[in-house]
Chains A and B, each alone.
Chain A
């Protein structure tokens, strides 16, 4: 039995506006180290909501969330942001880079925030990640001058910078063409195989989901 990095215990969530709806109903999942997991389901089945709860950004739920065997219940904002910084790498559907910064600086930002390494070391690591993802020649460009596929690769490099316990993706290929989707998938696959990285992705794309190690299917707020 390998290490459990992420576990939910009876997570439920209600939306109250305009009428009370149960978006998540008694969700129990656990994800092991080195898993490449995708969450699929129809629009509105609660998969994104679940992802935001798992990423600690949404704290309004009942049940318990354990990251690295620690409960995230009733933790202050500063503790949760530390967890996000240190243990979670995030890749969004829209690339969300800071336009004012260069590509390199965008990747360095979470590393600088963590503050465990010197600026020089963080820069070196950032360059390594960019190189690995094949966008090192774009490093000094401003973030808003990249193509969509390139931006997503930069976002993955940013997610990797602090050596996170788990990488979470919210439709990371949802805004990309087939070719770029494949590139992103291959990068994820490689990370899992070579670094034993844990990856959890919410996706609409059945092709993408099919090729992952494990699929969690959701419907009406429940895990099927």
Chain B
């Protein structure tokens, strides 16, 4: 098969109907542009929304859950009997993690683990005048917390390091700070459940973007928190693990739970609804894009059909002078593919430009203090998918008219005049 000649013929026929083919190519271009823009924007937004929770959520969280003992004393005493015990109360378990230092050391050596950060939660009250505001202090390792969970992204004021450098320093959730009318450098008073009273210097504000959390949460270094609880430096209630591969979280969580005899929560279980949301948004994006492409495909199909009727004579000559049915088929598929490639490539370019424009549109949100423009995910894979889409659709749209053209009997046309 002489491909160069066939391409030349395809090009010539295409130029004969330049305006129609241009419109068909614009149709393809438009759908690819929309696909690239939609998918980049959607996945960018997905990443942002998921990040809102998932960035802040450890992949595996190890802790002691307050719950009733699985084996009640009666079961232990008479293992072969069946007991129905009503009104079971939760066990008074220790809240901290037993032998935390060696657990952490083990975790840090695990190949699958990206990083480990310890955490300690303590319920407190802030007093302002005679008003008491319930709040919760998270004792964190600021630097690890920032590295693993992008804590720094949510700071609206202050410096992360001051949590470590200044003793009795605290960072307040934005909502909580508003209630306390605290500025950076102010001193706030808090009471522990044990009745002790401490004064803390405000060194920063944190805005997670979820009002319920920002209204009650504040952050101090883990050492400071251990101090106000009157606990030793090995006292941690949570070990947060970030894995290299988030998909391994459920199995790793199960493994750790057994190994350390702790409760382990993986991120997928904790935030199942986000996965669902992401999936649905992606499906919508692909559905819209495919619809656009199918419409563009019908346009190409129409134009090729018209072209074939118009160029019956040419097809007959080609066949009479020695072009086979398959040559003719390829000529029309090539016409379609030229439209597809041209439309597809321009679609990618315009898609990139349009997503760049969206990427620069201002987008101010309470939820994310560090974001100032719309999030767009520039992923090369989308461009590959886009061009593949364009080529497959135009190929299919061209195939049926092309098969029809290949079956045209030259005798009928030559005689028909």
A interface residues (Cβ-Cβ under 8 A, vs B): 48, 52, 55, 57-58, 77-78, 80-86, 90, 92-94, 96-101, 109-110, 112-115, 158, 162, 170
User: How many inter-chain contacts with C-beta < 8 Å in the A-B complex?
Assistant: 76
With contact pairs A52-B411, A58-B411, A96-B414 given, residues A81 and B324 touching in the complex (Cβ less than 8 Å): yes
B417 touches A158 (CB 8 A): no
Residues of B within 8 A of A83 (CB): 322
Q: Once the chains are docked, how many angstroms separate the CA of A205 from the CA of B330?
A: 40
Q: A57-B410, A94-B414, A113-B327 are in contact. List 17 more A-B contacts (CB 8 A).
A: A52-B411, A57-B411, A58-B411, A81-B323, A84-B320, A90-B321, A93-B417, A96-B414, A98-B12, A98-B314, A99-B16, A99-B314, A100-B15, A109-B321, A113-B2, A115-B5, A158-B321
A to B CB contacts below 8 Å, 19 in the list: A52-B415, A57-B319, A77-B324, A77-B326, A78-B324, A82-B322, A84-B322, A92-B414, A96-B313, A96-B414, A98-B12, A98-B317, A98-B318, A99-B314, A100-B12, A109-B318, A109-B321, A112-B2, A115-B5
Q: Tell me if B23 counts as interface (CB < 8 A to partner A).
A: no
Q: Among B15, B322, B411, point to the contact of A85 (Cβ < 8 A).
A: B322
Determine the residue in chain A with the shortest Cβ distance to B324: A81
Bound form: Cα–Cα A102–B372 in Å: 59
B160 to chain A, nearest CB (A): 70
Interface pair B320/A113, CB less than 8 Å apart: no
Complex: A115 Cα to B323 Cα, angstroms: 12
Kindly list chain B residues whose C-beta atoms are within 8 Å of the C-beta of A112.
2, 5
The answer on a CB contact under 8 Å between B322 and A114 is yes
B16:A57 contact, CB within 8 angstroms: no
Which B-chain residue is minimally distant from A48 (CB atoms)? B415
- CB neighbours (8 Å) of A57 from chain B are 319-320, 409-411
Closest to B15 in A: A100
Smallest Cβ distance from A163 to chain B, in angstroms? 13
Instruction: Tell me whether A81 and B16 are in contact (CB under 8 A).
Output: no
Separation of A101 and B311 alpha carbons in the complex (Å): 13
B321 near A113 with CB under 8 A, answer: yes
B155 at the interface (CB under 8 A from A): no
**Is the pair A77, B320 in contact by a Cβ cutoff of 8 Å?**
no
B316 at the interface (CB under 8 A from A): yes
Contact B322 A113 (CB under 8 A): yes
Give Cα A100–Cα B409 distance, bound, in whole angstroms: 22
In the assembled complex, B325 has its CB within 8 A of some CB on chain A: yes
Contact of A86 among B318, B322, B324, B326 (CB under 8 A): B322
Q: Are B316 and A115 in contact (CB under 8 A)?
A: no
Tell me how far the C-beta of B2 lies from the nearest C-beta in chain A, rounded to whole angstroms.
Answer: 5
B228 within 8 A of A: no
Determine the distance from Cα of A100 to Cα of B318 in the docked complex, in whole angstroms: 13
Cβ–Cβ contact B5 & A113, under 8 A: yes
Minimum CB distance partner of B313 in chain A: A96
**Complex CA distance for A84 and B316, rounded to whole angstroms:** 13
Least Cβ distance of A39 to chain B in Å? Answer: 15
Those of B397-417 within 8 Å (CB) of chain A: 409-411, 414-415, 417
B89 shortest CB reach to chain A, Å: 87
Can you name the residue of chain B whose Cβ is closest to the Cβ of A96? B317
Interface residues of B in 307-351 (CB under 8 A from A): 313-314, 316-327
Q: A52-B411, A94-B417, A100-B12 are in contact. Are A85 and B321 (CB under 8 A)?
A: yes
Given A57-B319, A100-B16, verify A81-B5 contact (CB < 8 Å).
no
Verify if B229 is at the interface (C-beta below 8 Å from A). Answer: no
